[in-house]
Structure 1
Amino acid sequence: MKFKKSLNNNIALAEDDEGCEVIVIGTGIGFKKSKGQYLDRDQIQKMFRIEANDKYQRIEQFFNDIPLHIIDITDQIVEIGQEKIGKKLNSSILLTLADHIHFALERHKCGMDVQNPLHWDIRHLYPVEYRVGEQAVDRINEAFHVTMSPSEASSIALHFVNSQLDSGSMNQTIKITKMINESLEIMSHHFGIALDKESVNYSRFITHLRYFIVRQMNREVLSFKDQHFLYDVLSERYPSSFQCAQDIKEFMERQHEFTITPDEMVYLMIHIERVTSHSDAN
């Protein structure tokens, strides 16, 4: 591990054995070092790889602006999320979440806690991520001796949702969440039933909607063999689910300018049939 540049006394830019740039953290690791000098691995407490799409200037500014204690707590929270969610998370979550936590703590000190308007929606749409958010709030409260608003759990949860989707921005993740809600409202109105939010089929349906919307946003086309045959068969076998899928299609095309293919409609019908056939009528 070769030293390249000091960011401050405890943080430095280095080059690993594979020639990749990394950020290393350790007490005094950036103090009075020369470029090309080999670093003592025992001195390195944490290391973060700089991905190809990350801008170095942004990362340097981040590590200069965010207190090390916040970075450390955020790293612990990301590890909790990685374990609970069980999926690969975008490496940028450390930067975005630490920045969020830093700003949230500053607001809290000024008595300016912000309530997330999507709090209850996020809690039901992303239950695993929300539980990670709850654990994160507990960890933050304990580490910084504060009492953050419970709604902060939903804001943190969205960071983990966004990190899985790699959707580009938090604003896009919020849009996706709102579109999922719109689809669920259409379903509830169409069938007049209460969906079982604890069921496996509901969880799978939310996941399908999430990636269905991402595909539409990215103009990706889903295709498979015999889609027209399956479309005809399913629309006849499950007429109510077909009509509900048609209502969602028309709404999405009208409100969000999506172009939903018969292939997407097949999967949408299947998931709607699964989740509604196991729900209780009001």
Structure 2
Amino acid sequence: MIVIKRVLNNNAVVATDEQNQTLVALGSGIAFHQKAGRAILENKIEKSFYPKNEDAANSISETLAQVDPKYIELSDRIISEAVISSGKKLSDDIYVSLPDHLQFAVERLKKGMLIQNKLTVETMQTYPDEFQLGKHTLSYLAQETGLTFPDDEATNIAMHLITAEEGDILENTEETITLINQFLKVISAMLKKEFNLNSVSYYRLVTHLKFFVQRIKKRQHQEFPPDKTLYDLIIRDYHAEYLIAQRIAGIVMKKFNYRVSDDEILFLTIHIHRVNAVQ
């Protein structure tokens, strides 16, 4: 049985479960005409999560209590779309951070406070799906408020989604985007060509770089010694691309003191070759 400890708004409560553990429960109208001490039907709960400790529970409670329920509902819709499109489980923090951000974004725009995001172009190129979800969110907000939001705000929303996908913190998300785009600029400059952003090869390269950067930052070596014959063949036939992969490995060593393994270099070389082969 789930028992309410505190009503945050019509769509959110802090409660306890059968083991007397504290949880946050979300659901449309879940707390309508409810109060502390009453039980709630589990089929009314659309999403629940367990804060790490009592301090975290209090922090979440205070934040959600100050958020208009419409932003919680909108966030839940966007989060569901993000889960479906990415196939990834998002961290529970997004259920608090996103509605809080959306409400603040509306308040800022009403006051004429525009906050620029210098990574908008990079985010559009590196995380196009999340950026489009950010744009969809702004469309919903525009219908609700009559306000016109800049693309930079779509970037801010995308970063919350990316952070939740990767279980990271926002500052690390910004660093990841910056690093991926540094690599893309190196590849473009050394190949002396512009990327076809709509090509499958470009999408595969960016996806590979995302996981590559994650492994670097988590210092997870993926060491599968490549077949020497294959490795020598790749170096010979894709020599220009191999030199680019080596340049990227040098950047990684200098910035993170992380040695990029031979197999990482091999796969990176292949992805660079694929994008180079696109006319």
User: What's the TM-score once normalised by structure 2's chain length?
Assistant: 0.88
Q: 1:196 to 1:237 in 2, by over 3 A?
A: same
In the TM superposition, residue 15 of structure 1 has moved relative to its aligned partner by: 4.0
Asked whether the equivalents of residues 116 and 155 of structure 1 are also in contact (C-alpha less than 8 Å), the reply is: yes
Q: 1:230 to 1:30 in 2, by over 3 A?
A: farther
Alpha-carbon distance in structure 2 between the residues aligned to 1:151 and 1:9: 30
Q: Which position in structure 2 is the counterpart of 1:23?
A: 25
Alpha-carbon distance in structure 2 between the residues aligned to 1:24 and 1:188: 46
Alpha-carbon distance in structure 2 between the residues aligned to 1:87 and 1:24: 20
**Structure 1 stretch displaced more, 169-178 or 226-235:** 226-235
Unaligned runs of 5+ in 1: none
Does residue 1:184 correspond to 2:164, yes or no? no
In the TM superposition, residue 28 of structure 1 has moved relative to its aligned partner by: 4.6
Matches within 5 A, 1:146-225: 146-166=147-167, 168-225=168-225
Alpha-carbon distance in structure 1 between the residues aligned to 2:244 and 2:36: 65
Asked whether the equivalents of residues 205 and 275 of structure 2 are also in contact (C-alpha less than 8 Å), the reply is: yes
Matches within 5 A, 1:117-156: 117-156=118-157
Q: 1:230 to 1:97 in 2, by over 3 A?
A: farther
Asked whether the equivalents of residues 163 and 170 of structure 2 are also in contact (C-alpha less than 8 Å), the reply is: yes
In the TM superposition, residue 71 of structure 1 has moved relative to its aligned partner by: 0.9
Counterpart amino acid of residue 77 in structure 2 = Q
* Residue identity (%): 26
Q: 1:86 to 1:9 in 2, by over 3 A?
A: closer
In the TM superposition, residue 123 of structure 1 has moved relative to its aligned partner by: 1.2
In the TM superposition, residue 124 of structure 1 has moved relative to its aligned partner by: 1.7
Q: Which position in structure 2 is the counterpart of 1:48?
A: 47
Q: Which position in structure 1 is the counterpart of 2:67?
A: 66
Q: Which position in structure 2 is the counterpart of 1:93?
A: 94
Deviations 1:147-174 (A, max 9, x none): 22232112212222222222x2111011
Alpha-carbon distance in structure 1 between the residues aligned to 2:148 and 2:18: 43
SS at match of 2:40: coil
Asked whether the equivalents of residues 8 and 30 of structure 1 are also in contact (C-alpha less than 8 Å), the reply is: no
Does residue 1:7 correspond to 2:7, yes or no? yes
Asked whether the equivalents of residues 2 and 42 of structure 2 are also in contact (C-alpha less than 8 Å), the reply is: no
Q: How many residues in Structure 1 have an aligned counterpart in Structure 2?
A: 274
| Cα RMSD, aligned residues only | 2.4
In the TM superposition, residue 16 of structure 1 has moved relative to its aligned partner by: 5.1
Q: 1:72 to 1:202 in 2, by over 3 A?
A: same
Counterpart amino acid of residue 234 in structure 1 = I
Counterpart amino acid of residue 240 in structure 1 = A
In the TM superposition, residue 190 of structure 1 has moved relative to its aligned partner by: 0.7
SS at match of 2:47: strand
